[in-house]
Amino acid sequence: MKQLDTEHFPLVPIAQSEIKIASFNLLNYLAPPNAYYDFENIYSYEQWHKKQHWLTSILEALQPDIIGFQEVFSADELQSLLRDIGYPYFAVVDEPIVEGDFIYRSPVVAIASKFPITEVIAVEADNDAAQLMGWAEFSFSRKPLRATVDIPHIGATDCYVTHLKSKRSLFDDPLPETIAKSGSALASFLGQRLGNWGSSMLRGTEAALLQLAMVKRREQTSNPMVLCGDYNDVISSSCLEELTASRVYGMSESDTERLINFYCLYDGWQLYTQVNPQDEEAIRPATHYFNGKGSVLDYILLSQEFNASYLGSLFEVSHYHTEDKHLVNSSFDIDGYSTDHAIPIVTLSLRS
């Protein structure tokens, strides 16, 4: 775990009544002269400076208090940048894979906070649960992290950062001849179908085992929960819908509310529209575009302490912003080395 020296940073005043949380996919955040994925993918120093400047400008403009990052290769450089703009707490729990001393693969997630981080761990998969779901061996494609953050008014809050398996095919190798003739059009067709479904299975399993770890932690500590990240799928998809489901078949609504809702997660956007019903019909901004089609892949999920419909909640989602100018109205001089994801931000306001 990497964490900053906080000796020279003042603590955030307890009087702060609004908290901003962001999820931020940095897209190949790797300092030169190292390369991401291929030896030709190296930022020039000018390009890297532009990426750093863009990142600094965005964070200074948006002023999130807690940020969950994805696609981090250069953790030390990110740590240094954040320190200089007022984020005294930072952590990662994993390292990228490095081949041939300079080709980097498998970026990691990170978290930064203006509030004290009191504990950081890598979330581990429950092997017994994985085996029940048919996985003899299982590991997350990218290790999720859990940071316990001391948030004003609410105290110890477990903030999770994830980057679930992408939709890229689970395997690159050709199908065995027993499935389809090598090199044939049918082999390509079947390989794509099987590979895509394999990715969905892995992504869904990652989501389920992460949720299991969160529930078990919640049972032990009762800490509020935040889960932010790049989910690589819409939250309503068949492999992710259980993350925000509260139903228990055969259980009454009253028992569900009494026994289950404590462990549930709620989509920040949905919590925002509950507080602001005039925006219920608003079109939710996309966070990623592929072949000209936008979709929401980046989410911030929250436990009931941030749900205004729960009488015991301390905060409510008073604002939801998707920073997407660099995607929908970009200027190459400014945004040319930014990221291919928008940045969702929830504002949590203390309830009176």
Q: What percentage of the chain carries pLDDT values higher than 90?
A: 76
207-233 core/surface letters (b: 16 or more CB in 10 A; e: else) = bbbbbebbbebbeeeebbbbbbbbbbb
* Range scoring the smallest mean pLDDT among 40-54, 141-155, 253-267, 295-309: 253-267
pLDDT exceeds cutoff 70 at 27 = yes
**Mean pLDDT of the 118-126 span:** 97
Global pTM value: 0.92
> Mind listing the pLDDT tens digit for each residue in 200-241?
999 999 999 999 999 999 999 999 999 999 999 999 999 999
pLDDT (tens digit per residue) in 80-120: 999 999 999 999 999 999 998 899 999 999 999 999 999 99
Does 1 have pLDDT greater than 70? no
Which of 166-175, 227-236, 270-279 has maximum average pLDDT?
227-236
For the chain, give the mean pLDDT.
Answer: 91
Instruction: Please state, in angstroms and rounded to a whole number, the distance separating the CA atoms of residues 130 and 107.
Output: 24
pLDDT over 90 at 11, yes or no: no
Question: What per-residue confidence (pLDDT) applies to 50?
Answer: 97
C-alpha distances (whole Å) from 12 to each of 18, 112, 113, 153 are: 12, 14, 11, 12
